[in-house]
Amino acid sequence: MTDTNYIQKWTGMSDSAYAWSYLGLNFASSIGQAAGNVYRLHATRKIRFNHSGTEVNGYRYFDRKGNPFFDFYYPHKDIPYNHWHGWDGPGLTNRTGGHWSYLRLILWMLGGM
């Protein structure tokens, strides 16, 4: 392997300009991937109704394999805020207990993906 950076050689970029371009393109790629994942989650979600089936209570989101990934719920009963439940276990078959805040959901998703 050579130490020649052909992109810098062909474009005449300095080390600093190349590093910033590389960082910017990686950042843009990450934003694009995150946006694609958000779109996929939104496109595949299913509506969850309350127990009487008369009002929308939230949504269930699925992973790429079609397994439940997490549930989002609007405020209900004694929980006056939006909240989430994650799914885990073999094949994402067990809904986690408790009512999660948005921060807890993000931390679980970062560790559980």
Helix (H) or strand (E) holding 47: strand 46-49
Are 94 and 112 in contact by the 8 Å Cβ rule? The answer is no
Among residues of the chain, what percentage have pLDDT more than 90?
A: 0
pTM of the model: 0.54
CA distance linking residue 95 with residue 63, whole number of Å: 14
pLDDT band (50, 70, 90) for residue 78: confident
pLDDT band (50, 70, 90) for residue 95: low
Q: What average pLDDT does this structure show over 48-68?
A: 82
Q: What average pLDDT does this structure show over 74-96?
A: 70
CA distance linking residue 14 with residue 17, whole number of Å: 5
Query: Which residue has 């939104």 as its token pair?
Result: 42
What is the residue extent of each domain of the chain? Answer: 13-44, 46-112
pLDDT in tens, 7-27: 888 888 888 888 888 888 888
Looking at per-residue pLDDT, the higher value among 46 and 9 belongs to: 46
